[in-house]
Structure 1
């Protein structure tokens, strides 16, 4: 059954050349990302902020402990979508999964606002569960929408990715500002309010989607499977390996923060080899990875040749994704600490006036553009989803009010300190600025192959850290927080390079997953894609938490050079694999 027949009018109401429904998903993802990144930018800063001696005291954790907790949280955020994708695929459909996930996340944000240790862990747990339902199924709906329009997918995913980053931009800016200037609970609470409103507007837009994302009809789903897709049932060995590798992964991801924060070890400290050679947890996780690779490769070999080759290409892309997120996700840990403790953020006089003008343009122009998109959506869909549109206008009215209050407060102050969270918004701002240029590039005759896009993304990412390593060269070995501060320009340039690299890799990565994976496995394989991101996030937080140790034993430049060399080497390798990957993809562009 063609996608368009699910609702013939769906593709008649268009905004900026794409179906209006894409922009409903755009705003749904925007509010979810507002909430997620609004909380994310606060967490490590809140946990590691000094207990006393500052205006906004935190919990005084070490960077290692904060990194361990955040890494486990971030890793689980990308693991639960595997299960959530399977449940949606087989039982409840994509739309219900999104609503259930969003509701659970709303409760999680509410718990975070309480600021007790129990509620912190409860809130993080609810966010992990809710994300499992929400995350894979947003992209699955887009894949279903564009099933018969594959040439439009890259552009659609890039627009969708702009929604992701618009939400991240305003979430980090507004939640971060309220948290650092007024109180932590205000920042955590605002994230929950917009999560709730985003859930309501998506549910009210149901008439626009027809049967897209409905509860699956098993007989119809089986009938739509391509004739080249031979069923590949799980064998007994497959199931045993799934249980073993899943158990190992879960034990490791929880053992890391438990052993560091609570001094509780759920994995043996010695296993097979001496603790002085390799720690027990490391041996266990290496064993689990070997078993997992055996499971994946053995299953792929049982597919038909074309499907098999494309799945191998998918695995290669997922593997190199780990190296990208290992470096990129320093933004949640080490770069937050670097911005707070080693970056000069104090402004007064002319520098404050210039910053306020730039910050106003930085805030108002993107908000005005996205409000204009909302108006376009309203004109196209007001007769179909009026309540959804009204809810969106309420969201934007609230956000405009907070922005105007924030800007007024800053313009009337004689001296100010740029918030730590402000630097994190630069990534999202640059994406909003440059995403349309990349969309035109991908739609032109100069559109590079998937491997080249990946290679460029990784290499440009590495160059961003090279700039930061150079800027941090004045920070000596063993520097104490606050004793040496560098210019803000180095962080700004680093985020620019990181964004240019991200636009080459992240949004088109989602598009290639949908092109290479068999339709009946799409949500599950999106979950597998997120597994690669989960590993990258966990590694990023664990390594990022070592920033204090590396600076004490070496220096800050050495720390950033790690994230310079790793992505550049990885990017060069995947570009060399370009001819092989082209053959494996069998004509997928």
Structure 2
């Protein structure tokens, strides 16, 4: 067999990018395929209450964003990118396949396997992409854009296929397809290793450290053993999701101590920039808490109160990724064009616009109640338009934030500050679970958003009055529980977005030369 090296370009990029593109595509296929089914599986098959399903889902998704910090460090010091990616892929594949066993120990164990596996796979395949390009290579941004497209292609296609199989042949067939997707990703990555498309990149960084023994076992093997031993711990955290707030407090305290420590070690200009990075992270946490209703409460809203056409509720999870595929390149071209005209908005303004459009998307979800039919179902057009608008918000904020964090971070602490940025996903998913729980109200109780000023705001946006809703059927009360939450949090996000835009000059001053 002929060996190819990464010096052989494909469409102007190292050949290794092609393998990593498809490996990540299939890994995301497995992740988003399973995610699309999870809340519906818990509420419809396992018969969990909405509150319990939201709690388990929030704990699972928040932990998914904690383990990459650990997996990245272990790869840098001991395993190397290659071994970490393979270990993570194997763990995730096992997690998807174990979901086919209908016992609590397998269900929570499966979620934990995916949590741990994602920690090894996700950060290190991205790092391997970066290693394909030398410092200063002008192709780097384009390469990551191509790689990002693979993520969203997997995220768009997986819910459609996995949900179709789950609907026609059973939940477990959908989970099996997700597991097969992960195996295909591993096979593709393995193919790249066999063909030597990565050269020496991603190998064990320090062979002597890897082989150094403790209690007669090499450090490299200890990482694998510890990964499997940690599975019951993460399964217990998900199972006892009611106590996750203790983990949130612990992570918050650790981050605060580390940030305070860094602030004392850097000069005043760098300190101002770091505080702006923290400010952006707080805004991203708020964005994530509202945005991540997708996959949880929005999936149940689509299942129960949207007149779906040509797709089922689980398949609606593909809408966001589909819009990203359509809009990512136009947005990229837009920033370049505006930069040429010297009209490119400051990144603070983009953050504000991101929050504003996110809120507007949820207000549109709330407004859908104005067109409700006799079965308490709203038109699917509102769901599509709402997703389109909030996806625009995502493109204003998420990629811009990732870029600015690298510029605002002190060079010596870039990796740590990047970890702080990604911690917003951990906090965001935790609070997203709390927001989703607000949609679970008992019959005859429309919740906090039906009272006082919030009740008036809800009626203004949704057209649903409290008195008429309470006198209506249960399905209309259920609709109110969703649209009231979406409308009020939508207005909150829009309001904060406007405040961010109005006060951008104060933040811009602290950013120095960073745009």
TM-score class, shorter-chain normalisation, is 0.7 to 0.9
Return the alpha-carbon distance in structure 1 between the equivalents of residues 140 and 305 of structure 2: 42
Return the alpha-carbon distance in structure 2 between the equivalents of residues 124 and 587 of structure 1: 44
Return the alpha-carbon distance in structure 2 between the equivalents of residues 289 and 441 of structure 1: 37
Aligned: 1:434 with 2:327 = yes
Which of the numbers 365, 372, 386 marks the counterpart of 1:468? Answer: 365
Question: Which residue in 1 is equivalent to 2:96?
Answer: 109
Q: CA deviation at 1:548?
A: 2.3
Question: Which residue in 2 is equivalent to 1:373?
Answer: none
Question: Which residue in 1 is equivalent to 2:109?
Answer: 122
Indicate conservation of the 8 Å contact 1:143/1:514, yes or no.
no
Indicate conservation of the 8 Å contact 1:104/1:127, yes or no.
yes
Which of the numbers 299, 306, 328 marks the counterpart of 1:343? Answer: 306
Return the alpha-carbon distance in structure 2 between the equivalents of residues 193 and 302 of structure 1: 48
The worse-fitting range, judged by mean Cα deviation, of 112-121 and 18-27 is 18-27
Q: CA deviation at 1:156?
A: 3.8
Return the alpha-carbon distance in structure 2 between the equivalents of residues 292 and 124 of structure 1: 26
Q: Tell me: CA distance 1:212–1:307, structure 2 relative to 1, closer, same or farther (3 Å).
A: farther
Return the alpha-carbon distance in structure 2 between the equivalents of residues 259 and 436 of structure 1: 39
Indicate conservation of the 8 Å contact 1:310/1:516, yes or no.
yes
Q: Tell me: CA distance 1:430–1:421, structure 2 relative to 1, closer, same or farther (3 Å).
A: same
The 5 A counterparts of 1:182-581 are 182-206=169-193, 207-216=196-205, 258=240, 289=252, 292-304=255-267, 308-345=271-308, 355=310, 418-444=311-337, 445=339, 446-473=343-370, 483-517=375-409, 524-549=416-441, 552-553=446-447, 554=450, 555=480, 556-576=482-502, 578-581=504-507
Q: Tell me: CA distance 1:341–1:452, structure 2 relative to 1, closer, same or farther (3 Å).
A: same
Q: Tell me: CA distance 1:290–1:83, structure 2 relative to 1, closer, same or farther (3 Å).
A: closer
Return the alpha-carbon distance in structure 2 between the equivalents of residues 253 and 566 of structure 1: 34
Question: Which residue in 2 is equivalent to 1:412?
Answer: none
Q: CA deviation at 1:135?
A: 1.6
Q: CA deviation at 1:14?
A: 4.1
Q: CA deviation at 1:197?
A: 1.1
Q: CA deviation at 1:150?
A: 7.3
**SS of structure 1 residue aligned to 2:90:** helix
The worse-fitting range, judged by mean Cα deviation, of 61-70 and 307-316 is 307-316
Q: CA deviation at 1:102?
A: 1.2
Q: CA deviation at 1:573?
A: 3.9
* Superposed CA offset, 1:443-490 (max 9, x none): 3325433223222222111111111111124669xxxxx941111111
Q: CA deviation at 1:310?
A: 4.1
Question: Which residue in 2 is equivalent to 1:60?
Answer: 47
Return the alpha-carbon distance in structure 2 between the equivalents of residues 448 and 211 of structure 1: 41
Question: Which residue in 2 is equivalent to 1:28?
Answer: 23
TM-score (norm 1): 0.69
Q: CA deviation at 1:572?
A: 3.0
Q: CA deviation at 1:146?
A: 4.8
**SS of structure 2 residue aligned to 1:440:** helix
Which of the numbers 163, 167, 180 marks the counterpart of 1:180? Answer: 167
* Superposed CA offset, 1:252-288 (max 9, x none): 996785275xxxxx69xxxxxxxxxxxxx68x95687
Indicate conservation of the 8 Å contact 1:155/1:443, yes or no.
no
The worse-fitting range, judged by mean Cα deviation, of 459-468 and 312-321 is 312-321
* Superposed CA offset, 1:297-343 (max 9, x none): 23233135565444333322222111111111101111111011111
Q: CA deviation at 1:151?
A: 6.1
Indicate conservation of the 8 Å contact 1:344/1:488, yes or no.
yes
Q: Tell me: CA distance 1:294–1:522, structure 2 relative to 1, closer, same or farther (3 Å).
A: closer
Q: CA deviation at 1:537?
A: 0.9
Higher RCO (C-alpha 8 Å, min separation 6):
1
The 5 A counterparts of 1:49-198 are 49=44, 58-146=45-133, 148-149=135-136, 154-198=141-185
**Residue-pair matches, total:** 449
**SS of structure 1 residue aligned to 2:202:** coil
Q: Tell me: CA distance 1:251–1:9, structure 2 relative to 1, closer, same or farther (3 Å).
A: closer
Q: CA deviation at 1:130?
A: 0.4
**SS of structure 1 residue aligned to 2:378:** coil
Aligned: 1:48 with 2:43 = yes
Q: Tell me: CA distance 1:116–1:327, structure 2 relative to 1, closer, same or farther (3 Å).
A: same
Return the alpha-carbon distance in structure 2 between the equivalents of residues 449 and 11 of structure 1: 38
Q: CA deviation at 1:66?
A: 0.3
Q: Tell me: CA distance 1:218–1:155, structure 2 relative to 1, closer, same or farther (3 Å).
A: same
Return the alpha-carbon distance in structure 2 between the equivalents of residues 287 and 127 of structure 1: 23
**SS of structure 2 residue aligned to 1:330:** coil
* Superposed CA offset, 1:160-196 (max 9, x none): 2221110011111101110112100100000011101
Question: Which residue in 1 is equivalent to 2:9?
Answer: 13
Return the alpha-carbon distance in structure 1 between the equivalents of residues 73 and 398 of structure 2: 23
* Superposed CA offset, 1:17-72 (max 9, x none): 544433332222211110000000101001111xxxxxxxx121111000100111
Q: Tell me: CA distance 1:100–1:303, structure 2 relative to 1, closer, same or farther (3 Å).
A: farther
Question: Which residue in 2 is equivalent to 1:404?
Answer: none
Return the alpha-carbon distance in structure 2 between the equivalents of residues 573 and 146 of structure 1: 40
Aligned: 1:37 with 2:42 = no
Question: Which residue in 2 is equivalent to 1:388?
Answer: none
* Superposed CA offset, 1:217-274 (max 9, x none): 699xxxxxxxxxxxxxxxxxxxxxxxxxxxxxx99996785275xxxxx69xxxxxxx
